[in-house]
């Protein structure tokens, strides 16, 4: 990605009411002026003023954002054209024929990073904002974009740099018994503790970014699809009184207790001679294996409780919550005690669903009512935090023994590693990996 190129891409999904083409680069203004025409040119009007003109024969609005006061930090021109694939394609063709090349995925945000508009953690947050699957995930991404995590890492980076300087200052006077500043090893350990506090947010970070994989499993007719429909608030799956109604897995996205959830309803598990049903059951098994949380439904009203329990015992399910369903049909029935979290519900009346959601959240994030975290790191951050935190106890110990060279080397490594998180020092392939996951136009 050459940062001096002029790049362009649709910034909106094609097919909406308006398509915005975004141009960024040193010649964005000139190229925009070749494609978009009006009585007053973009160069004449004050920047960030929306003007009406034409792209070819079609009316289109345009705005110029002068470097460095733009999203990318380059000169940016946006052309707001009529929506629809044909209009957008024509305008894009003109732009590409007039000196821009097509932007790669994430390239606008990459430029913002290179131009110092965003650090790497904030650039990742742009991706999180776009892919957020729940209100809580969205709010976390907004905080991270605003710099909540960046500023904490920045503070740690500065402290590590001071500590490194302190250790290295002793190297210049090897023969002197230079008294080292009070409290340096304690400060190193304090940084390690703060890194560990950040590391502890990895779980909730993964849950909010990736969503929880929740699978509903059980014997045929236990009420799995009824529960799916209730959780979604719509009749997504077919429900009948005939065992074996659901033959294939059904997937849906939803939000439970503020957590983004990928929900899978499965075909009821039993041995069957029907080859189609067998394939469905095989899929159910695979879904259960990949689950983070499993609702294992048991029909509390049936006369085959032993069979229900035997089937559950046969299938080790991650994060399993046993769910006695159809409570409305058997309100007084004495049910066997089970190992692990157990909830009683009626998918039909909705009774017990709140308790089920509490149990779900406890299984997913260890608390029935998750709160929005101040910050939450992602897998990349966690890997680097762990690496940095691992170096610090030894660095503190070396410092205490007067082994300042070793202490300094380790502090330098830790500094470098924390710097990688915010993008102060970073390998090109890491950048590629981050930005290529964005959509084109972002
Ligand atoms: N039309 C349009 N809408 C958009 C964007 C955009 O680029 N274009 N954005 C993104 O895709 C998001 C908004 N993010 C933005 C962030 C910074 C700047 C910007 O011009 N920053 C300058 C000026 C700051 C200021 O005036 O306070 C800067 O940082 O120097 C623009 C958009 C969402 N909506
Ligand atoms: N009374 C009562 N009936 C329920 C309840 N939950 C489900 N049912 C009924 O039980 C039958 C089976 O429900 P489904 O949701 O299709 O069951 P399933 O587990 O998806 O069944 P398969 O797809 O065949 O594996 C239907 O007639 C539902 O109306 C409940 O809580 N109370
Ligand atoms: Mg079903």
This complex has an ipTM of: 0.91
CA pair distance 148, 112, nearest whole angstrom: 18
CA geometry: angle 127, 131, 134, nearest 5 deg: 130
Q: Is the CB of 28 under 6 A from ligand 1?
A: no
Give the three-state DSSP class for 320: strand
* Per-residue tokens: 10: 């649709």
**How far from the centroid of its chain's Cα atoms is residue 12's Cα?**
21
Q: Is the CB of 198 under 6 A from ligand 2?
A: no
- Site to probe by mutation for ligand 1, drawn from 71, 74, 119, 146 as the one with most ligand atoms within 8 Å of Cβ, is 71
**Residue 393 near residue 192 (C-beta atoms within 8 A):** yes
Of 3.40.50.720, 3.40.50.300, 3.40.50.620, 3.40.50.150, the CATH number of 209-365 is 3.40.50.300
Q: Is the CB of 346 under 6 A from ligand 2?
A: yes
- 244 in a known ligand binding site: yes
pTM over 0.90: yes
Closest Cα partner for 1 from 108, 75, 78, 95? 108
First to last CA, the chain: 14
pLDDT tens per residue across span 285-341: 999 999 999 999 999 999 999 999 999 999 999 999 999 999 999 999 999 999 999
Helices (H), 98-252: 107-114, 120-131, 135-146, 148-169, 184-199, 202-210, 224-232
Q: Is the CB of 90 under 6 A from ligand 2?
A: no
CA-nearest residue, atom 16 of ligand 2 = 239
- Which residues are registered as beta bridge partners of 170? none
Closest ligand 2 atom to 242 CA = 24
Calculate how far, in angstroms, residue 70's C-alpha sits from the geometric centre of ligand 1.
Answer: 6
Between the CA of residue 25 and those of 42, 49, 73, 101, what are the distances in Å?
A: 15, 19, 9, 10
Residue 65 φ/ψ, nearest 5 degrees: -115, 115
CA pair distance 200, 249, nearest whole angstrom: 34
Neighbours of 276 (CB within 10 A): 12
Q: Is the CB of 328 under 6 A from ligand 2?
A: yes
**How far from the centroid of its chain's Cα atoms is residue 365's Cα?**
16
Between the CA of residue 114 and those of 25, 125, 338, 423, what are the distances in Å?
A: 13, 16, 57, 10
User: Residue 233, class by beta-carbon neighbours within 10 Å (0-12 exposed, 13-18 middle, 19+ buried)?
Assistant: exposed
**Residue 307 near residue 342 (C-beta atoms within 8 A):** no
Q: Is the CB of 329 under 6 A from ligand 2?
A: yes
Calculate how far, in angstroms, residue 140's C-alpha sits from the geometric centre of ligand 1.
Answer: 19
CA pair distance 198, 389, nearest whole angstrom: 10
* Per-residue tokens: 440: 């084109």
Q: Looking at the domain covering 7-119, what would its CATH class be? A: alpha beta
Nearest ligand, CA 268: 2
- 266 in a known ligand binding site: yes
CA pair distance 393, 62, nearest whole angstrom: 56
- 203 in a known ligand binding site: no
Neighbours of 238 (CB within 10 A): 12
Please report how many Cα atoms fall inside a 13 Å half-sphere around the Cα of residue 250, on the Cβ side.
20
Radius of gyration in angstroms for the set of CA atoms belonging to the chain, rounded to a whole number: 29
**How far from the centroid of its chain's Cα atoms is residue 345's Cα?**
32
122-201+377-422 under CATH 2.40.10.480, yes or no = no
Please report how many Cα atoms fall inside a 13 Å half-sphere around the Cα of residue 19, on the Cβ side.
23
Give the three-state DSSP class for 54: strand
Closest Cα partner for 418 from 394, 395, 375, 388? 388
In order along its 442 residues, the chain shows pLDDT tens digits of 566 899 999 999 877 899 999 999 999 999 999 999 999 999 999 999 999 999 999 999 999 999 999 999 999 999 999 998 888 899 999 999 999 999 999 999 999 999 999 999 999 999 999 999 999 999 999 999 999 999 999 999 999 999 999 999 988 765 555 566 679 999 999 999 999 999 999 999 999 999 999 999 999 999 999 999 999 999 999 999 999 999 999 999 999 999 999 999 999 999 888 999 999 999 999 999 999 999 999 999 999 999 999 999 999 999 999 999 999 999 999 999 999 999 999 999 999 999 999 999 999 999 999 999 999 999 999 999 999 999 999 999 999 999 999 999 999 999 999 999 999 988 889 999 999 999 999 9
The pLDDT score that the predictor gives to residue 171 is 81
CA pair distance 81, 21, nearest whole angstrom: 8
Q: Is the CB of 246 under 6 A from ligand 2?
A: yes
- 341 in a known ligand binding site: no
CA pair distance 35, 365, nearest whole angstrom: 52
**Residue 82 near residue 13 (C-beta atoms within 8 A):** no
Domain boundaries, the chain: 7-119, 122-201+377-422, 209-365
CA geometry: angle 150, 153, 155, nearest 5 deg: 110
CA-nearest residue, atom 32 of ligand 2 = 326
Read out DSSP for 282-318?
A: HHHHHHHHT-SEEEEEEETTSS-HHHHHHHHHHS--T
**Residue 410 near residue 395 (C-beta atoms within 8 A):** yes
Name, in order, each residue with C-beta under 8 angstroms of 37's C-beta and a sequence gap of 6 or more: 53, 54
Between the CA of residue 187 and those of 180, 388, 390, what are the distances in Å?
A: 13, 15, 15
Q: Is the CB of 268 under 6 A from ligand 2?
A: yes
Between the CA of residue 85 and those of 8, 91, 212, 342, what are the distances in Å?
A: 16, 10, 35, 52
CA-nearest residue, atom 31 of ligand 1 = 71
CA-nearest residue, atom 33 of ligand 1 = 71
Closest ligand 1 atom to 112 CA = 29
């Amino acid at each position: 990605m050459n940062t001096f190129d002029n790049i362009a891409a649709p910034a909106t999904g094609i097919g909406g009411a308006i398509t915005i083409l975004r141009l960024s680069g040193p010649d964005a203004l000139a190229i925009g002026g070749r494609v978009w025409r009006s009585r007053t040119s973009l160069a004449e009007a004050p920047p960030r003023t929306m003007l009406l003109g034409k792209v070819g024969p079609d009316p289109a609005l345009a705005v110029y954002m002068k470097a460095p006061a733009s999203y990318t930090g380059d000169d940016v021109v946006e052309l707001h054209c009529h929506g629809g694939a044909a209009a957008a394609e024509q305008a894009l063709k003109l732009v590409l024929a007039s000196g821009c090349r097509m932007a790669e995925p994430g390239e606008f945000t990459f430029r913002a990073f290179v131009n110092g508009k965003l650090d790497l953690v904030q650039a990742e947050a742009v991706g999180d904002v776009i892919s957020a699957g729940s209100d809580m995930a969205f709010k976390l991404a907004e905080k991270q974009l605003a710099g909540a995590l960046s500023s904490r890492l920045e503070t740690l980076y500065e402290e590590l740099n001071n500590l490194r300087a302190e250790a290295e200052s002793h190297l210049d006077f090897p023969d002197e018994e230079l008294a080292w500043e009070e409290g340096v090893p304690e400060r190193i350990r304090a940084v390690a503790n703060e890194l560990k506090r950040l590391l502890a947010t990895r779980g909730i970070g993964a849950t909010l970014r990736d969503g929880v994989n929740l699978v509903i499993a059980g014997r045929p007719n236990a009420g799995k699809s009824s529960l799916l429909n209730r959780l979604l608030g719509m009749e997504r799956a077919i429900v009948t009184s005939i065992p074996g109604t659901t033959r294939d897995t059904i997937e849906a996205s939803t939000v439970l207790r503020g957590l983004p959830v990928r929900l899978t309803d499965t075909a009821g598990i039993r041995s069957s001679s029907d080859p189609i049903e067998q394939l469905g059951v095989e899929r159910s098994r695979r879904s259960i294996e990949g689950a983070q949380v499993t609702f294992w439904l048991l029909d509390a009203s049936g006369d085959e409780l032993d069979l229900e329990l035997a089937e559950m015992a046969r299938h080790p399910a991650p994060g399993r919550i046993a769910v006695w369903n159809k409570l409305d049909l058997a309100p007084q029935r004495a049910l066997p005690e089970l190992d692990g979290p157990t909830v009683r519900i009626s998918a039909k009346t909705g009774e017990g669903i709140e308790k089920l959601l509490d149990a779900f959240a406890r299984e997913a994030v260890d608390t029935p009512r998750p709160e929005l975290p101040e910050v939450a790191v992602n897998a990349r951050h966690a890997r680097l935090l762990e690496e940095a935190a691992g170096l610090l106890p030894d660095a503190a110990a070396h410092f205490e023994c007067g082994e300042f060279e070793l202490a300094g080397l380790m502090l330098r490594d830790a500094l470098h590693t924390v710097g990688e998180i915010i993008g102060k020092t970073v390998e090109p392939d890491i950048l590629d990996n981050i930005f290529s996951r964005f959509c084109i136009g972002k």
